[in-house]
Structure formats: structure tokens, C-alpha cells
Chains A and B, each alone.
Chain A
């Protein structure tokens, strides 16, 4: 019996050299952010650990409540900075050069195919797009990994998704992922890995692949993963030109899957997840009466350069609906600069958007765009739970950047075909 891609990576890292139900494995990289890592540091100290496993394989990425929204947030960043200094941890990043962790880490070449990565953040599953095994864990797991470089794992089953057909205009990875979550539900992939495959996946950009793997957790998945191809290798080489002999791994043809789900993408329309679950998914055209107070384009799901590019394409020469709040958050300083260079930021400014510094910000109701009671937002983020973006009485709709940009123009949830020509 063959093995899946994830099983192969776990086997390679298993300390017993075997693939049992539970394995104890060494990790290639572990990290946390400004809300999970301080708790890990606290646990590390409480446990009486005196040393770290490897100063180059631990990351602290301050992105959730940064630039520090208040004194407590500032305290937490400082705590991480001091710990990093004390233990000579190389990858401590404040706002000067990081941005949203799950965009920053692949962009800076800190994750590569075949790596086993744990992060104290549920969206760590994002790096499956590189053909890595990357799983979200808690702060105690991170504390233990900082000290030992090891973590326990249940070897997961995998569901294989085979996507065929060609995407129509304005439909991409986010729509496909929302559709998939809608189909299997928020616990449809509980404890399992979602392997995305098929010709439609091959046609997607790396940015869209990240966005799909990112939301595997929204279906309860332990991870999302895509077999690497030339696009993956190009991305990894560009991110870290020093990397030589990048090894990749693919699933065996006779690998065992718990389920195989076939989906044809050719009739797929832009998809929107309605309040208050990411699985409450409808076609955009069914929601054209929903008025919005705020539009958010950004996050670890959709704050990448191609997300800003498609939004700018729709917004070029247009104005947002009067009275609407529209926020665009380039996910990292590098993306911010590229968007500036390509004149996307100018388009956003002219349309009436405000450009935020890189941060998770409003996605989790942290700051820079929190909703009041009764307010409605359409956002390119990943969760729309009750109170996720602010008041428990607010409403969040999740969409692609294209739908969010089109909705900013009309002030209602809008199919981009309604505001721009398809051949635009």
C-alpha cells in the first residue's frame, strides 16, 4: 500500500522511523504570534526549560494586535523581543519587516516543500500549498517544541479532492474553497488532511493555492496540501535563492484515502459564506440585496499581491459607494511596496479605500476596522463566526477579493461581472 504526501513527510520526521497511529517527530520550524507565543514563553518558563532546540528554527511573528493597539499588546511584543534576545532566536519579527505570519513565512523562504512545521495559529495549514506538512497547534505545544524541537502527532487520514474543468472569469481559489467547505461542512474534514488535486488546481497561482490550504481548518481539517509542481518550485526558488536541491514529495498512486471527492469547477460562480459559519455558502447572485457597511480586503487568506491586483483591476477609475468604509491591508511590507510600485495603492486611494499597514487587524476583531452592532461587512478573511469582527450583533460575509472589490463599488454584495466587463 502506498503512502500519501503527508504520510511520507511524517514518516521522514518520525523519531521511531515508523508511521504508527501516534508519532513523536522532530519539526523543521516552529513559531507563534503576538497572542499565542507570549503564552508559550510563559509555559516555557513555568516548565523550567533552560535552553532552546535551535535558534534558527523558531519564529516569533508579531501580526495580530500590531502595530501595538494598546499597552497590553505592546507588552506582549516586548516580552517576545526580550525572550528572543535572551535565547538568540533569529526569527523575531516586529512590524518592521514581517506582516501577516502565513504570508510572510513562505514569502521569506522560511518554509519549503517536505518540511514539518508547527505554528501556534490555526491557519498554519497554509503552507500545505508548498507541499509541506504544516499544522496548527496550541501554545503549550509550541513551548515544548521551542525547548525540544519535537511534537506529537496523530497520523491523519487524507481526503482527496479532484478538481476538473476550467475556471470562469472572476472565479478562483477562494471561491473553490468556500464551495468545498459548503459542500462538506465545518467538520467535514475533522482530524483529516485535505489534499487538493486535479487540473483545476494545477491552473491556480501559488497565491490562490495558499488561500485554499489556508482555509482547510474551516472544514475542521488538520491541514490542506497540494503536490508541488513547477509553479511551487519557482515560488520557493524566488523566496529563497540560496536553497539548493529542493526535494519534493508526491502521493503514491496507490495511497489510501478516506474519501475521494470529485468537483467540476467549470460552472462555479463566485461564492460567498454568509453569517455565521464559513460553510454557510451561497452563490454571489443570491445575495445581491445584502447591503454592506464595510469592505475588508486582506488577511492570511487573501492579502497577497494577486489579491490586490484583481481588486485594483476592478476598482480602477471607480469610486466606492458613498458612506461605505473600505479597508485594504497588504499582508506584508514587501507586498505593500510591490502594490505601491504597480500603482495598485493609488487605485485603492482614488477609489476611496484606506490602506492599512500589514496586520491581522479586523479579521479577528482586533483593531483597525471593528464592526458595531448591526453592521455588515464583506471581507476576504476566513471566519465569520458571531462577533468575529467586533460586536456579537454584527455580520460578516466571506468572499474573494474580486467580489469584495465589486461590492465596495455598489455597497451591496455584487458579482464582479455586474460592474466590469469580463474581457476588461
Chain B
């Protein structure tokens, strides 16, 4: 799958309260959550995003709470991919589980704001068309590729052998 979009830069340690403030956590509406993405840090951030754009961040993206509202908000505002130098653990698994594409790229800091990026998700290759540079991302472990390929945890569970299936009713 090829993604093309403009880069929106964020720093390191972007936490889940930054991504979506706790006061909005009683909502499960992706589009509403998306409209509040990064509100505490920059209320205008969302206005610059066009569908398909890419977030490029530093280290430890998504640290803090386990709220799945965070990857939902990012999907909800139209972001197609998050590239970061590293991801916080729960955000990482949430993104994979809900089917939000993410890539770990140690050279993410070389990408500038508003650069046009073209990303081959399957190969993990990031082309910065503005800088005319190519970056590689860390390959996902085979286990995770399976989940990513089918589009998230629930779909993976449904496709798989009996050991992953539901238990007996009210055991």
C-alpha cells in the first residue's frame, strides 16, 4: 500500500493527553475525537491537516495512558500514518490492534514540516519527495505483520484457529 501526504511534525514524548485530552474520553465518535487531536498543545494543528497527511514525531510517541481514543482520534482526523523515532508501548499495540499504520524510523528527525512524503507501507520505505531523500523504517516482527496485514486484532482473531476463538458461553 502506498501513502502520499504532507508531513506534520511533532516533538518527542507526545503523550496521550496531548493527543486527546482526558475530558473527551467519554466520546467514542472518531470524527469528534479527531477534531480535538492535539488541542491542548496547538488548537490550530487540526486545521492544517488534510486527509491522508502523515504525522512525523520524535521519541516515545503516545506515552501515558492506555486510551485507545488516541489512535482513534488520529484516524478520525484523517491522518493516514504516524512515523516516529520510537513509540510508547501501549500506543504501539493499540495502533496495530485498531489498524492505524505506524512506522518506526530512526531518521524521522531529518524529515521537515510540510515535506511531501510517499510511503510504501509494505516495504517500510519513506520517500521524502521535497528533500529527495529515502529513509527506511524498522521492520515489524513477523507476528505483528500478521495482525497488520489483516487489519487489526479482531480480524486476526476471526481468521485464526480454534485456540484464538471465544470460550464457552458464560463458562
**Docked-complex contact A387 and B69, CB < 8 angstroms:** no
Identity of the chain A residue whose Cβ is nearest the Cβ of B85 in the assembled complex: A187
Q: Which stretch (B47-55, B91-99, B107-115) binds chain A?
A: B91-99
30 cross-chain CB contacts under 8 A: A22-B141, A22-B143, A22-B144, A35-B67, A39-B69, A42-B28, A46-B154, A47-B154, A47-B158, A52-B169, A55-B170, A73-B26, A76-B26, A88-B170, A120-B66, A124-B66, A137-B93, A138-B98, A141-B153, A147-B157, A150-B163, A154-B141, A187-B13, A190-B60, A217-B90, A364-B17, A364-B65, A366-B23, A386-B18, A386-B41
**Docked-complex contact A388 and B17, CB < 8 angstroms:** yes
Contacts of B17 in A (CB 8 A): 364, 383, 385-388
How far in angstroms is the closest Cβ of chain A from B59? Answer: 6
Contacts of A22 in B (CB 8 A): 141, 143-144
Q: A102 at the A/B interface (Cβ < 8 Å)? A: no
* In-complex Cβ contact of B15 among A50, A121, A385 (8 A): A385
Identity of the chain A residue whose Cβ is nearest the Cβ of B12 in the assembled complex: A187
Which residues in window 23-71 of B have CB below 8 A to A?
A: 23, 25-28, 40-41, 59-60, 63-69
**Docked-complex contact A51 and B166, CB < 8 angstroms:** yes
**Docked-complex contact B164 and A140, CB < 8 angstroms:** no
How far in angstroms is the closest Cβ of chain A from B65? Answer: 5
Question: How many angstroms from the CA of A222 to the CA of B67 in the assembled complex?
Answer: 15
Q: B165 at the A/B interface (Cβ < 8 Å)? A: yes
Q: A38 at the A/B interface (Cβ < 8 Å)? A: yes
Binding site for A on B (CB under 8 A): 13, 15, 17-18, 21-23, 25-28, 40-41, 59-60, 63-69, 86, 88-90, 93-94, 97-98, 141, 143-144, 147, 152-154, 157-158, 163-171
Contacts of A190 in B (CB 8 A): 60, 86, 88-89
**Docked-complex contact A36 and B67, CB < 8 angstroms:** yes
**Docked-complex contact A121 and B166, CB < 8 angstroms:** no
Q: Chain A interface: which size bin?
A: 35 or more
Give 8 nearest A-B pairs by CB, closest first.
A53-B167, A138-B94, A387-B40, A187-B60, A51-B169, A364-B22, A22-B143, A72-B26
**Docked-complex contact A144 and B65, CB < 8 angstroms:** no
**Docked-complex contact A383 and B89, CB < 8 angstroms:** no
Identity of the chain A residue whose Cβ is nearest the Cβ of B13 in the assembled complex: A186
Given A55-B170, A121-B65, residue A138 in contact with residue B90 (CB < 8 A): yes
**Docked-complex contact A149 and B25, CB < 8 angstroms:** no
Binding site for B on A (CB under 8 A): 15, 21-22, 24, 35-36, 38-39, 42-43, 46-47, 49-55, 64-65, 70, 72-73, 75-76, 87-88, 119-122, 124, 136-141, 143-144, 147-150, 152, 154, 186-187, 190-191, 217, 220, 222, 277, 364-366, 383, 385-388, 392
How far in angstroms is the closest Cβ of chain B from A187? Answer: 4
**Chain A contact surface mostly:** loop
Contacts of B94 in A (CB 8 A): 137-138, 140-141
Contacts of B168 in A (CB 8 A): 51
Question: How many angstroms from the CA of A53 to the CA of B169 in the assembled complex?
Answer: 7
Known: A64-B25, A148-B167. 13 other contacts (CB 8 A): A22-B141, A53-B166, A55-B170, A70-B26, A88-B170, A136-B90, A140-B97, A140-B153, A141-B97, A148-B166, A187-B59, A365-B22, A387-B40
**Docked-complex contact A365 and B23, CB < 8 angstroms:** yes
Contacts of A392 in B (CB 8 A): 40-41
**Docked-complex contact A122 and B66, CB < 8 angstroms:** yes
Given A51-B170, A144-B154, residue A387 in contact with residue B21 (CB < 8 A): yes
* In-complex Cβ contact of B171 among A55, A385, A387 (8 A): A55
Max chain A C-beta neighbours (<10 A), residue from B65, B98, B147, B164: B65
How far in angstroms is the closest Cβ of chain A from B170? Answer: 5
Contacts of A24 in B (CB 8 A): 163-164
Question: How many angstroms from the CA of A36 to the CA of B167 in the assembled complex?
Answer: 22
Identity of the chain A residue whose Cβ is nearest the Cβ of B165 in the assembled complex: A148
Contacts of B59 in A (CB 8 A): 187
How far in angstroms is the closest Cβ of chain A from B64? Answer: 6
Question: How many angstroms from the CA of A70 to the CA of B168 in the assembled complex?
Answer: 37
Question: How many angstroms from the CA of A47 to the CA of B153 in the assembled complex?
Answer: 10
Given A24-B164, A64-B25, A148-B167, residue A143 in contact with residue B64 (CB < 8 A): no
Contacts of B144 in A (CB 8 A): 22
Contacts of A51 in B (CB 8 A): 166-170
**Docked-complex contact B22 and A388, CB < 8 angstroms:** yes
Given A21-B141, A21-B143, residue A366 in contact with residue B22 (CB < 8 A): yes
Question: How many angstroms from the CA of A21 to the CA of B140 in the assembled complex?
Answer: 12
Question: How many angstroms from the CA of A191 to the CA of B171 in the assembled complex?
Answer: 33
**Docked-complex contact A52 and B170, CB < 8 angstroms:** yes
Contacts of A217 in B (CB 8 A): 64, 90
